[in-house]
Amino acid sequence: MPEPRDSRAGQPPTLRDVAEHAGVSAMTASRVLRDDPRVLPATRDRVRAAATALGYRPNQVARSLRLGRGTGLVGLVVTNLANPFYSRLALGVDSVVVADGLKTVIGNTGQDLDGERDLVADLVGRRVDGIIAVPAGSDQRHLAAAAADGVPVVLASRPPDGFDADCVLVDDFGGARDATARLLSRGHRRVGFLGSPPAVYTGTERLRGYTAALADAGLPADTRLVRQGQTEPAEAERAAARLLALPDPPTALFCSNNRNTIGAFRAIRATGTDTALAGFDDFELADALGLPLTLVTYDSDELGRTAGRLLMERVRERRGEGAVPDGGSVAAHQRVVMPTGLVEYGR
Amino acid sequence: MPEPRDSRAGQPPTLRDVAEHAGVSAMTASRVLRDDPRVLPATRDRVRAAATALGYRPNQVARSLRLGRGTGLVGLVVTNLANPFYSRLALGVDSVVVADGLKTVIGNTGQDLDGERDLVADLVGRRVDGIIAVPAGSDQRHLAAAAADGVPVVLASRPPDGFDADCVLVDDFGGARDATARLLSRGHRRVGFLGSPPAVYTGTERLRGYTAALADAGLPADTRLVRQGQTEPAEAERAAARLLALPDPPTALFCSNNRNTIGAFRAIRATGTDTALAGFDDFELADALGLPLTLVTYDSDELGRTAGRLLMERVRERRGEGAVPDGGSVAAHQRVVMPTGLVEYGR
DNA sequence: CTGTTAGCGCGTTCAT
DNA sequence: ATGAACGCGCTAACAG
């Protein structure tokens, strides 16, 4: 396999190298490589031959700069790619985005709020075509700033706060209420709650759903049974264990996400009680745990795909914009809500 | 929140806008924004003020083009981000790469070989600083081409084939042999094998380990007990079910990856046999399946981090290269092998 | 310390 | 059908 290089060694060939090699001007080479029809077939073939001979790859950086558009990149801002929820989201986003010839840049913040701010600024500086974010905290000013800079922003599983943007949400409230109601319909009267820190939108929304179900059943909310703040299964397991060790322990638990459900499962199995368990998010092997389990499900791939589609709409919109006088948004921002369902495992 | 814009509406401000606003030349503004000390403190402050006033963000695209270096992006080529193995790899890579100020572009190929080729070409065209890949098939010519173009390439969990590159491997052979030997030490004499398609390096390497363990025990390899080609748990479950339905079924199964282990687990549970199970890759909830399970483990985060580190070494190396006469590699390519361990669950 | 010139690789505009 | 000139936004090299 000969390594073809005409020009300076080590440097990738440029359009000019191709042009010289083919005995034409850079302009003609450019036309050929972008399939401009106004080129003589003969020269076209010569240029193509030169390009393959040199192993020419158009420099997309230069192209982006010249075209003035974005870089064909979409920034995806999440807290933890190792959480299956986020990796599926990423996959869904990427599948849509790739279909339009773009690529996804991942930004994993690991819950670091400052890091998230820097990350978004960096993505804007990189001239991404758009940003899809699941903000970690409640402060969204960095996203508002990006949007103000003209970068399309789509939020996933959290609504925009303090600015306007498209978003895809899950029916957090309804799903949590339904799951809790299911527990109550089985006779449980003391139902505990385990969830993420209060700053997380989905967590509080799901707590609201849980509380609403209790209220519907005429039950008071017992704050001693509510534990917020667990992000990882190990923390959730400890929190659940403490609930189960209460003098008057709950007979059922509702968890606001898969991390907490898994932790609660471990605690229940460890203590050997027959506490009923329900949670938000389906997860692999949930059916194989040997415990009855009620889960709130939704199409998490579709969540990502929808986010991707919403973003691509805006991206296309921006590309088409010739000279909008005031720069106002062309179409109203959308808010898509994904429905949830309940599934019963292990019974 | 006033939206500051001095120049043409809608267009983000450029360095020149900042310079004009501060009453200096573009060059001086550039110096200030890159913390070049050779600027009068007074003007420095003026320029900084102008930059914040206009909401200026340096255009990294233009910067990359000018500097001639890469774009500060690392391409990550994998087949399926939804597989926890790959999402952890991605996380490990990203954590290292981010520490050097770069970002990760994900390329999810979904087993599509042509797609992988196009993807790599696209990444090269985008002028990524390097590529980390887990190639889907056995043909690596597209990666060889990228490497020949001067883009550092690191392979993860597969060795380079047909060209030279750094790589991080798992001790596939040893891990598989140890796990199979463990099954044999418990008296099993008919051990089945479930694994990925033969084109996948890790699959065949782990098959070799399995076969070696059998040979060490003086057992022949019974090809009827070997099923390759399953990529997803559902396929693996069917393949396992067929093995268990054999007139003389295996009393134990060894699976070459987590997808196959999960499928086999389901088949065993469904048929109700007490077939012993071992597999490569640890996975969440493996301890909670209520079945004895032997797994080959390794530090999958460290795998990603190592890949990232190997790549960053090359990237730094390339940046430092002034004018190497022949463009030969500066340091020999490395091959790091991650050790494996065995873990027993559910007994 | 600051400004001018030049050009990274490409594509648009206007000639030819 | 082809080419020359110019500029996208930024910065290295050289003035002054």
The 10s digit of each residue's pLDDT in A139-166 is 999 999 999 988 999 999 999 999 999 9
What Å value separates CA B72 and C1' D15? 33
Long-range contacts of A281-285 (CB under 8 A, 24+ apart): A281/A85, A281/A257, A282/A258, A282/A343, A283/A84, A283/A258, A284/A84, A284/B262, A284/B284, A284/B285, A285/B262, A285/B284, A285/B285, A285/B288, A285/B289
Residues A70, B33, B20: CA angle, nearest 5 degrees: 80
Kindly state the percentage of chain B with pLDDT values over 90: 86
Could A65 and B60 be called an inter-chain contact, meaning their C-beta atoms sit closer than 8 Å?
no
Kindly state the percentage of chain B with pLDDT values over 70: 94
Could A148 and B1 be called an inter-chain contact, meaning their C-beta atoms sit closer than 8 Å?
yes
Could B106 and A94 be called an inter-chain contact, meaning their C-beta atoms sit closer than 8 Å?
yes
Q: How confident is the model at residue A36, as a pLDDT?
A: 86
Q: Kindly report the CATH number that applies to the domain delimited by B15-58.
A: 1.10.260.40
Q: Assign residue A227 a region: left if phi > 0, alpha if psi is -120 to 50, beta otherwise?
A: beta
Query: What does the alpha-carbon distance between residue B215 and residue B210 come to, in Å, rounded to a whole number?
Result: 9
CA distance B39 to chain A (A): 24
In this complex, the answer to whether residue B33 has its CB under 7 A from any atom of chain D, a nucleic strand, is yes
Work out the pLDDT band at B144, boundaries 50, 70, 90: very high
Could A94 and B72 be called an inter-chain contact, meaning their C-beta atoms sit closer than 8 Å?
no
Residues 6+ apart with CB under 8 A from A190: A222, A225, A248, A249, A250, A251, A252
A226 contacts chain B (CB < 8 A): no
Query: What does the alpha-carbon distance between residue B236 and residue B227 come to, in Å, rounded to a whole number?
Result: 9
Nearest neighbour of A327 by CB, restricted to B9, B141, B149: B9
What Å value separates CA B130 and C1' C14? 40
From A167, A158, A126, select the one nearest A139 (Cα to Cα): A158
The 10s digit of each residue's pLDDT in B241-289 is 999 999 999 999 999 999 999 999 999 999 999 999 999 999 999 999 9
Q: Which two tokens stand for residue A11?
A: 């440097």
Domain boundaries, chain B: 15-58, 71-170+301-337, 172-297
- The H or E element containing residue B276 is strand B276-280
B259 contacts chain A (CB < 8 A): no
Q: How confident is the model at residue A6, as a pLDDT?
A: 42
Interface test with A, best of B129, B284, B321 (most A CBs within 10 A): B284
Interface test with B, best of A277, A285, A324 (most B CBs within 10 A): A285
* Residue B338 β-bridge partners: B170
Q: Which residues of B touch A65 (CB under 8 A)?
A: 59, 61-62, 65
B309: phi then psi, degrees, rounded to nearest 5 = -65, -45
DSSP A12: P
From A20, A99, A104, select the one nearest A56 (Cα to Cα): A20
Of the two residues A149 and B341, the one the predictor is more confident about is: B341
B343: phi then psi, degrees, rounded to nearest 5 = -130, 145
Q: Which residues of B touch A121 (CB under 8 A)?
A: 57
In strand D, the nucleotides that come within 7 Å of a protein beta carbon are 1-5, 7-13
DSSP B245: T
Q: B74 near B132, Cβ under 8 Å? A: yes
Q: Which residue has the tokens 């982006």?
A: A64
Q: Is the pLDDT of residue B26 over 70?
A: yes
The 10s digit of each residue's pLDDT in B39-89 is 899 999 999 999 999 999 999 999 999 998 899 999 999 999 999 999 999
Q: Which residues of A touch B126 (CB under 8 A)?
A: 60-61, 71-72, 103
From A332, A221, A217, A338, select the one nearest A280 (Cα to Cα): A338
Nearest neighbour of A61 by CB, restricted to B65, B105, B148: B65
Nearest neighbour of A71 by CB, restricted to B61, B84, B141: B61
Amino acid type, A218: G
Nearest-by-CA chain B residue for A80: B91
Q: Which two tokens stand for residue B292?
A: 């004895």
Q: B184 near B177, Cβ under 8 Å? A: no
Q: Which residues of B touch A71 (CB under 8 A)?
A: 61, 126
pLDDT tens digits in sequence order for chain A, 347 residues long: 333 434 445 678 999 999 999 999 999 999 999 988 888 888 899 999 999 999 899 999 999 999 988 899 999 999 999 999 999 999 999 999 999 999 999 999 998 999 999 999 999 999 999 999 999 988 999 999 999 988 999 999 999 999 999 999 999 999 999 999 999 999 999 999 999 999 899 999 999 999 999 999 999 999 999 999 999 999 999 999 999 999 999 999 999 999 999 999 999 999 999 999 999 999 999 999 999 999 999 999 999 999 999 999 999 988 876 444 444 556 899 999 999 999 999 86
Q: Which two tokens stand for residue B212?
A: 């070696």
- Which nucleotide comes closest to A34 if you measure CA to C1'? C11
A57 contacts chain B (CB < 8 A): yes
Mean pLDDT of B192-204: 95
Q: DSSP labels for A258-277?
A: HHHHHHHHHHHHHHT---EE
The alpha carbon torsion through B26, B29, B34, B40 (nearest 10 deg) reads: 130
Nearest neighbour of B3 by CB, restricted to A72, A124, A148: A148
Q: A64 near A71, Cβ under 8 Å? A: yes
Q: How confident is the model at residue A124, as a pLDDT?
A: 95
Range list of β-strands (E), A242-321 = 252-255, 276-280, 293-297
* Residue B126 β-bridge partners: none
Q: Which residue has the tokens 């020949």?
A: B148
Q: Is B219 helix (H, G, I), strand (E, B) or coil?
A: coil
- The H or E element containing residue A244 is helix A233-244
B81 contacts chain A (CB < 8 A): yes
Could A125 and B150 be called an inter-chain contact, meaning their C-beta atoms sit closer than 8 Å?
no
Burial code of B70-86, b = ≥16 C-beta within 10 A, e = fewer? Answer: bbbbbbbbbbbbbbbbb
Class of domain A172-297: alpha beta
A30 contacts chain B (CB < 8 A): no
Query: What does the alpha-carbon distance between residue A214 and residue A252 come to, in Å, rounded to a whole number?
Result: 13
Q: Is the dihedral of CA A219, A224, A229, A232 positive or negative?
A: negative
Query: What does the alpha-carbon distance between residue A194 and residue A182 come to, in Å, rounded to a whole number?
Result: 17
In this complex, the answer to whether residue B231 has its CB under 7 A from any atom of chain D, a nucleic strand, is no
Mean pLDDT of the residues in chain B: 92
Half-sphere exposure of A333 (CA within 13 A, CB side): 17
Nearest-by-CA chain B residue for A60: B126
Could B98 and A108 be called an inter-chain contact, meaning their C-beta atoms sit closer than 8 Å?
yes
Q: Is A127 helix (H, G, I), strand (E, B) or coil?
A: coil
Q: How confident is the model at residue B330, as a pLDDT?
A: 66
Query: What does the alpha-carbon distance between residue B282 and residue B258 come to, in Å, rounded to a whole number?
Result: 7
- Residue B319's CB is within 10 A of a number of other CB atoms, namely 11
Examine domains A71-170+301-337 and A172-297 and report if their fold is the same.
Answer: yes
From B49, B101, B104, select the one nearest B77 (Cα to Cα): B104
Q: How confident is the model at residue A321, as a pLDDT?
A: 61
Q: Is the pLDDT of residue B6 over 50?
A: no
In strand C, the nucleotides that come within 7 Å of a protein beta carbon are 1-5, 7-13
Sheet order of strands, A153-156 included: A335-338, A166-170, A153-156, A130-133, A73-78, A103-108, B103-108, B73-78, B130-133, B153-156, B166-170, B335-338
- Which nucleotide comes closest to A66 if you measure CA to C1'? D8
Q: Which two tokens stand for residue A138?
A: 């409640």
Nearest-by-CA chain A residue for B121: A57
CA distance A208 to chain B (A): 29
Q: Which two tokens stand for residue A278?
A: 């329900």
DSSP A221: P
Work out the pLDDT band at B321, boundaries 50, 70, 90: low
Give the A:B interface size as CB pairs under 8 Å.
150
Q: How confident is the model at residue A8, as a pLDDT?
A: 43
Q: Which residue has the tokens 């006088």?
A: A325
Could B10 and A149 be called an inter-chain contact, meaning their C-beta atoms sit closer than 8 Å?
no
From B215, B202, B219, B294, select the one nearest B252 (Cα to Cα): B294
Nearest neighbour of B327 by CB, restricted to A10, A88, A124: A10
What Å value separates CA A28 and C1' D5? 15
The 10s digit of each residue's pLDDT in B124-142 is 999 999 999 999 988 999 9
Q: Which two tokens stand for residue A92?
A: 């869904």
What's the CATH number of domain A71-170+301-337, 3.40.50.2300, 3.30.230.70, 3.40.50.970, 3.40.50.720? 3.40.50.2300
Query: What does the alpha-carbon distance between residue A88 and residue A96 come to, in Å, rounded to a whole number?
Result: 13
